[in-house]
Every structure is written in C-alpha cells, then in structure tokens.
Amino acid sequence: MTAPQTVTAQPIATPARTRGGAASPLRLLLTFGSGLGIAIGPANLDVAIVRSRPSGAVLLAETTLRGFRLRPAAEWGAELLRLLEKAGEPHLTATVLLPRDEVIVRAVNLPGVAEKDLASAIELQIDMLHPFGDEEVAWAFMRAGSACVVGLIRKAVLDGWETLFGEAGIPVSAFTFSAAAIYSALRIRNTPALPVLIASTDDRGLTEIYGESEARPFYSSAFTVPSDRALNISRGELRLPQDYRAIALSEALPGATGVAWVAALAGSARLTNRFANLLPAERRASSARRQYLLPGILATLLILGLLGAFVVFPAMEQRNYLAAMNAEVHQLEPRALHAQDLEKRAAVNRGRIAALDEIRRRPQADLDVLNELTRLLPAKVWTSSIEIYTDSVVIAGEAEQAAPLLKLLDSSPLFQNSEFALSVTHNAQNEQFRIKTMRRGRTGRSTP
C-alpha cells in the first residue's frame, strides 16, 4: 500500500486551444476555491486536491488509496483526512466520480422547452433512459450546449457509496461521473475549441471516450472492445474524419494527472461552473465558507465600481434624451402597431401556403423513394423495414454483403451520405444491417 504523499505545488497550465477566448474578468475573479476529487476505481481510490485562484490553479496533493474495497472504511478514511490536514485544506468536501460502468449517461435534446421546465420534461422520460426496469434510480442533469446531459444510477448503488464514505468520515458534496467533470473543467478558464476527442483506457481494458463536435455538443461512452474500434465508433457518432486524432486527458487539460484531478478542479470552481450532481441537495455536505469571503468582497467592490462607471453617470445624461425619444415614439406608435399586425398576418399566410405545398408534395416524394430503393437494391437483398423521414431514410434487412450497399445508395440522385446506423451483425448466411441514408436536397426532422 502506498502512503499518501504531498506533491509539490505546480501551476496548472491553461488549455492552449480555445474558441471563445479567456473568461470574463468577473468570472475569473469568482474562480476562487479548493477542491477534493476522488475517482473510484476497480480496486483503488485516486485522490487529488486542487486550489483555484483567478491567476491559475495549483495541485496541492495527490495519492492512491489501494485496496480500499478490502480495507475498513475508517482506516483509509483516516489516511485521506491526514492528507487534507497536510495540504492545509481540512475543511474540504469531496467531489466523487462514480465508476463509469455504474452510471448511464444520456444526451437529451429538448427544443422549445423553457429552462425552468427542463427537470419536469426530463422526469417524464426517465423510464425510457435506463434499463433498470421498476428499480428506483437517482438522476441528475446539466446543460451542455443545446443538449441536456442526464446521468442515471441505481439508487441502491448510490446509497451504498454514500454509506461507505460516511463510514470513512469523508463528507461528500457531489457524486458525479467523469464526463460531467471533464465538460465543466474544460470551461473554467476558456471555451474549448471544437472538436474535442479524449480517450482513456483503465486497467481492466475499459475504454472511455469523451467528445464534443459541431454535430454533437456532448458525447460520452465506455467500450469493452479494443480502443481502435471504440475510437472509430466514436468518430462516427461525432461526425469526425476517421483519421482525427484522439488525445489524452493530460493534453486536453495540461497538468492533469487523471480524472481525480479533473474532479478536484471542477469542484474547486462551484461559483462559476455547474455539473450534474447525483447526490440529493439535502444530503450534500458543504465546505467552510471562509474561502469565499475574499472573492465575495472583491466581486462586490468590482460590481459597485462598474455600476458607478457604466450605469449611474450615463443614466443621468440619458434621462433627458430618453424623454424626448419617448415623445416621438408615442406619436409613431399607432402606425408601427398597424405595420406589425400586417406583417404577422403575412407571416401566418406564408406559413399556411408552405404547409399546404409540403402536404401536396410529400406523398409523391415518398413514392419516388420507394421506387428508387426497389430499383437500386439487388434481388438478394431482403428488407425488414423502411422508415422514411423528411430528410432521411432508414433501411433494415439482410444481405450477403452489406458494405457495398452504402456506395450503391450514394450513386442514386435521391440519396447521399449513407452510413450504418448500427454495427453489422452476421447470421449463418447473411449480414444483418441497418443503414441511414440522407435524402438529397431535403431538410427537416432527423431520424431518432
């Protein structure tokens, strides 16, 4: 068993690749705190302690608690508490990364749903997001670009981990998963450049892939297949070229020594970053608040200064100008309202015309698709289902060889960008396939 060791504090470099540049001065000012990250492995606990300041972040200490599953919780808990004391951060609560194979991660798109209604909308779909049947689950979500990322775990499993850390005497403020921590850590100082493709393989051969691209704002999956195969599948999901290079976590976040480091970094910046927390709010431990006193004072002074410089004095000069403008607006308001009403009526009529045209064209276009498939597909190809959508077609069936069908479909003037929606499987004589092909010149609702 390796004894806990304090690591010499080293500044953590800022990621070099950015899309939106550095964070705003106020956001950097609020990046103030310390974090304790714990990653649960098959046999060991990886631990890291990180301190964040506006000028950068510092790794205070890290260690590995070996064989924790076979040792009394109080024993390894005491080792961890001694490490916190030695690092000068005895008040910290833990951000714990659950084993990836115990957490199901889903990306859910909810267009048109208001921010305040997201939780209710996701809750209506929870039973369709996990395979645990009637077993009670714990779940949490966070925003990731245009998608909502939902993490789910069996409640009994989560309660077991909470009990274990309670027996160890380690206060826990968050149970989360590695992808949520990575997404949060990447945005503490900069907005990452797209695309992002991060790969890691543990001692058991489990390959975890994290990615972001223009096509998918969030992607996370764990594979038991060889890493090359896992990367090929992930590049396809992210719509990336097959030769796009995957990077290690330490390259995406320079200075990172592992996922525990990432969890500590994400947990140290709670004022500016949020991630999915599976632990119910009423059971979350809180750190001592003295670490937030100084940034709170500085933020207050900065806000007061900004108010004086950009709000109070300009408001005094603009008051008379606004009064004159309001008088002019009042005179022109009736004509403006009339013009807006006409524009609304025109927009409604244009929408009705477009809808009628689409309804008229749709049956013939779908028949053209079926005729073209009948012409293209060889006689030895058997289809079990053909799903026709506005912008795409999904074909499922069997063939002696499925791969040539992609090129055959792309040769048609009606189809393009054909790809396998699922991996090809084999039976005694044929290959079973599911192909998604895009309809040329068509846009609309994509296939599920």
CA angle 162, 118, 126 (to 5 degrees): 55
Each residue's pLDDT tens digit, 246-282:
999 999 988 888 999 999 999 988 777 789 999 999 9
Note the pLDDT of residue 294: 56
**pLDDT score for 46:** 96
List of the chain residues with pLDDT < 70: 1-30, 287-299, 308-309, 312-313, 358-362, 443-448
- Identify residue 221 by its one-letter amino acid code: S
Instruction: Please give the pLDDT value at position 12.
Output: 34
pLDDT in tens, 205-253: 889 999 999 999 999 999 999 999 999 999 999 999 999 999 999 999 8
pLDDT of amino acid 2: 39
**Angle, CA 423 vertex, CA 211 and CA 127 arms, to 5°:** 65
Domain ranges of the chain: 10-287, 377-439
Predicted pLDDT of residue 354: 80
Cβ–Cβ < 8 Å for 12, 255 = yes
31, 190, 230, 349, 416 from 271: Cα distances, Å: 7, 16, 35, 48, 47
- Residue 402, token pair as written in the block: 């499925």
What is the reported pLDDT for 27? 66
Pairing of strands 45-53, 415-420: unpaired
pLDDT in the model for residue 35:
93
Strand stretches in 375-414, DSSP E:
382-388, 392-399
Task: For Cα atoms 260, 266, 272, give the angle at the middle one, nearest 5 degrees.
Answer: 175
Tell me which CATH code domain 10-287 carries: 3.30.420.380
At 292 the pLDDT is 53
**In this predicted structure, what is the pLDDT of residue 3?**
40
In this structure, are residues 196 and 15 in contact, taking their beta carbons and an 8 Å threshold?
no
pLDDT for residue 429? 85
Q: How many CA atoms lie within 13 A of 200 on its CB side?
A: 19
- What is the predicted pLDDT for the residue at 361? 67
Q: Which residues of 289-304 are buried (b: 16+ CB within 10 A; e: fewer)?
A: eebbeebeeebeeeee
What are the start-end ranges of the H helices in 32-113? 73-86
How far is Cα 424 from Cα 403, in angstroms, rounded to an integer? 9
